[in-house]
């Protein structure tokens, strides 16, 4: 079977912008965008925080690939997996499992992507604050709009996605 390619041409603007920012010599903010959101004092429903644990939290991705695309991460800014404490590590992966359950219940997807981009070269948009992407997927969810015009058609706004996933998030009594 020949190798096929899926072209994501809309990503070049992000890649070149991220590369130029990395070499621009400008001082990076002292806190990640996630830490800034947590410190903002704004309500979770406004910031799209879906769940809070003792060491980690889940938030809806503000620039999703699909409806329900969320991020799970520690409160503490760390860039690499080995930098997590054992307690952070355990809670992070329990929360990722809960996120998969929530997305399965909320959207009934045909599949779910779970992944991390560690370091700018790996595609991390916020390399100093690791986060796990969890997003529902469906057969054929990349369509002509994305391929032809670099546009994603999101059938649900962020507030509706956050409410749906928050309602489906497993409660402690529901967990095995």
Domains defined along the chain, listed by start: 10-20+29-171 (3.30.428.10)
pLDDT digits (tens, 9 = 90+) for 28-50: 558 899 999 999 999 999 999 99
pLDDT digits (tens, 9 = 90+) for 65-107: 889 999 999 999 999 999 999 999 999 999 999 999 999 999 9
Find, among 164, 123, 137, 133, the residue nearest to 71 by Cα: 133
**3-class secondary structure, 106:** helix
pLDDT value for 22: 45
Kindly list the distances between the CA atom of residue 103 and the CA atoms of 9, 24, 63, 107, in Å, as whole numbers in the listed order: 28, 38, 17, 6
CB atoms within 10 A of CB 56: 25
d(CA 52, CA 153): 29
pLDDT value for 23: 45
Residues 59 and 41: beta-carbon distance below 8 Å = no
pLDDT for 145 beyond 50: no
CA end-to-end distance (rounded Å), the chain: 42
Q: In this prediction, what percent of the chain has a pLDDT beyond 90?
A: 56
pLDDT digits (tens, 9 = 90+) for 153-165: 667 888 888 999 9
pLDDT value for 130: 95
**Lowest mean per-residue pLDDT among 63-77, 132-146, 160-174:** 132-146
pLDDT value for 65: 84
The answer for residues whose C-beta is within 8 angstroms of residue 174's C-beta and 6 or more apart is none
Verify whether residue 131 is a known catalytic residue.
yes
Local structure of residue 159 (DSSP, 8 states): H
pLDDT for 18 beyond 50: no
Q: Which member of 89, 131, 133, 159 is catalytic?
A: 131
pLDDT value for 158: 86
pTM of the model: 0.77
């Amino acid at each position: 079977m020949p190798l096929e390619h899926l072209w994501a041409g809309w990503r070049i603007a992000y890649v070149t912008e991220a590369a130029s920012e990395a070499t621009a010599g400008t001082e990076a903010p002292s806190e990640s965008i996630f830490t800034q959101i947590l410190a903002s004092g704004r309500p979770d429903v406004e910031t799209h925080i879906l769940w809070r644990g003792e060491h980690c939290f889940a938030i809806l991705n503000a620039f999703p690939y699909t409806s329900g695309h969320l991020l799970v991460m520690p409160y503490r800014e760390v860039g690499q997996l080995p930098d997590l404490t054992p307690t952070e590590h355990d809670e992070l992966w329990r929360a990722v499992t809960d996120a998969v359950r929530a997305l399965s219940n909320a959207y009934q997807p045909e599949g779910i992507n779970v992944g991390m981009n560690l370091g700018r070269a790996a595609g991390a948009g916020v390399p100093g604050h690791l986060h796990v992407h969890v997003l529902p997927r469906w057969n054929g969810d990349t369509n002509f709009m994305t391929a032809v015009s670099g546009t994603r058609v999101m059938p649900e706004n962020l507030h509706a996605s956050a409410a749906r996933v928050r309602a489906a998030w497993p409660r402690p009594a529901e967990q095995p």
